[in-house]
Amino acid sequence: MGKVALVTGGSRGIGLGIAEALAMDGCSLVITGRCPSEDRAAVVERLRRHGTRIEYLQSDVSSPIDRRALLEKVQESLGRLDVLINNAGIAPPIRADVLEASEQSFDEVMAANLKGPYFLTQAAAQWMIRQKQADTSYRGCIVYIGSISATVASTNRGDYCISKAGIAMAAKLWTVRLAEFGIQVYEIRPGIVDTGMTAAVRENYDAMIEAGLLLEKRWGKPEDIGKAVAMLVRGELPYASGSVLVLDGGLTVQRL
C-alpha cells in the first residue's frame, strides 16, 4: 500500500480533482462529503479503477463528533495517515452585501471553512507526530485548499473571504508548529474554478474572463488543482514548507 490520504470534500469539484490525482499516484484514500454513501457510490467506483483502496465517509467537517469519527475510520480501515487535504468548504447560503449579511451565515461558513479544518488538522497532526516518533522515515504532508478570496475582497460574500483569510494564517501556524517533526504544510489558492460552487455565477465570470480578467483566458479545472496537490504529496517541491501556490490564471498579478 502506498501513502494514505484523507481528502475532505473529496467526492466532487476541486476535492474530486485532487482525489483523482492522488489515486493515479497510487495513494489509498478516504474521501468525505455531506451526501449519503449511496449517492457517492459511482464516484467511489470511478476512483477505484485506478487500482487503489478508496473509502467514502459521510462527514461534516464542522462537527467535532464527525471529525473524531473520521479519523477513527481512517485508523480502522487503513491503519495510518500520511496526507491530509483540507478541502471541504461551503459558499454562503445567500450572497449578501456585507451591510446586510446575517450572523447565521457567518457562523455556518466559519464552522465549515475555518474552525473545522483547523481542529481536524490539530487531531491529524497529533496522530502524524506519533507516527513520526515510531518511524523516523515517516513524512507527513498537510495541504490547505484556500482561495484568492483570502486577499481579494468580494463584498457580497464577506464571510467566505474572511474564512479563507483565516485558512491562510492557519496554514502558516501549522507550518511553524510542525516543522520540527518534518511534517510539510502548504496552502493552495485557486482562482475561478469550474465547480458546482461557481455554477450560479457562470455568466458573470464568463463575461469577466472574456473582458481580460485573467492572463490565461480560461476557467480553472479541478484537475489543475489536483496536479499541484499531487506534486506536493510526492515531495517534488523541496525546501518550500509553508509555500502558497496561487493557481488563478494570473488573476491576482498586478498590471498597469
Q: What is the pLDDT of residue 1?
A: 64
Which of these CATH numbers, 3.30.300.210, 3.40.50.720, 3.40.50.300, 3.90.226.10, describes 4-247?
3.40.50.720
Q: Kindly report whether the global pTM for this prediction surpasses the value 0.85.
A: yes
| Residue type present at position 225 | I
**Separation CA 71–CA 75 (nearest Å):** 6
Each residue's pLDDT, cut to its tens digit, for the chain (256 residues) gives 689 999 999 999 999 999 999 999 999 999 999 999 999 999 999 999 999 999 999 999 999 999 999 999 999 999 999 999 999 999 999 999 999 999 999 999 999 999 999 999 999 999 999 999 999 999 999 999 999 999 999 999 999 999 999 999 999 999 999 999 999 999 999 999 999 888 888 999 999 999 999 999 999 999 999 999 999 999 999 999 999 999 999 999 999 8
| pLDDT on residue 199 | 83
The residues with which 84 forms a beta bridge, in sequence order, are 6, 142
For cell 485506478, what's the residue?
A: 50
3 exposure class (CB count in 10 Å sphere: 0-12, 13-18, 19+):
buried
CA dihedral 56, 61, 64, 67 (to 10 degrees): 30
126 CB neighbour count, 10 Å cutoff? 10
